[in-house]
Structure 1
Amino acid sequence: MRRATRFILSLLIPLAFVIIVQAVEREQTAAWRFELDRYRAYKYSDSSNGTILRVVQAQQPWYFQQDMSSLVYGDSGHYQTDYGYSNRPSGIYRLPPSPADSRLKDNRKPLPFPPQEVWCVLLEQSRDTDRSGETTTPAVVFVALHQDLYNADWVVHEGVGASVSQESRASLSRIGCELRVDP
């Protein structure tokens, strides 16, 4: 009886460990995807814009530098971003920010580089033109996990240039994103 109990425990403990590790990985995947979805909802007002074409995880995220992004989006309480999702302009009159909001904004730290994890995303942007109707152009964004000793937050970096530029292609190859940007 004792041997059977030991045998069963020796099987169940590693199985429980594997289940816990998979649950943590799923939660991390959900975090970067959630941040990307928030960016798409903020940046693109209709469903035809911001379609995800491809997603690849960077193999060398430690090469991602601050000059590889133009604008940073995210609602981080710890790190400075260019745009937050909660302060989207709308037609509703809003009160000016309270002193507590101002203190929070002033006390946020610059993003620590390099990020711990980077996901490269190719999005399709639709633009209306007067004569020819609608044209689509690809755009590259980077969803990055920035982390210091005490804090960690996911943010979205827009690639340099309006659409897929030479700078974006160089950034992709430098951080190890095998993201095909040509249709």
Structure 2
Amino acid sequence: MFSKRISNYWPAIPGVCFVVAIAWPLLAQEQSEKEPADDLDTFAISHLDKIQPRSIRDNAEYCGLFGYDENGEFAATPAIRGGRDGCNPGIEPDGLEVIASYHTHGAYSPDADTEAPSVDDLLGDFEEGIDGYIATPSGRVWLNLLEERVSVLLCDPGCVYADPNFRACPAFLPDDEYTIETLREREAADTGEC
């Protein structure tokens, strides 16, 4: 993306080719070195993609925990089946340093606002002192960030397996970021109609 934007200005900026030629290896190296959170995001998305079909088929939330195993590698606890509107991931297992929770939102229902995190989703992770990942019926993935006290859209619909019956509600699309307060406002504005 950077190379496309800068190439538009090459004719207007003398010497830019020289600067880019010198700086490009450093930029490429910086872009290829992922932060640990980026690696966890990739791990989480892959894991959620695997449990989404079961969650949608059973119309139930599935949940668990992410962490570091004894070798310092990312690991996930087995997905536990919850109910339609909640799931308890259980206790922290031995040998896993927990860093985040995960859960799905089950199958699509036109009567439920499952495309955004709930207030309880955020509060639960904040009370546990961890981040949290959420997969929605459309295949969106959200990330609850403890330190920032916010939930951000990590990736758009279809990022993970989506319910084939999902239908978007153009009148009630989710934003890209929520706090507890803005989620309360969303819940208050939900008429249940699209």
> Would you call these one fold, judging by a TM-score over 0.5?
no
Structure with the bigger percentage of strand: 1
Tell me the TM-score normalised to structure 1 length: 0.31
| Structure with bigger RCO (C-alpha 8 Å, 6+ apart) | 1
* TM superposition score normalised by structure 2: 0.30
Larger Rg: 1
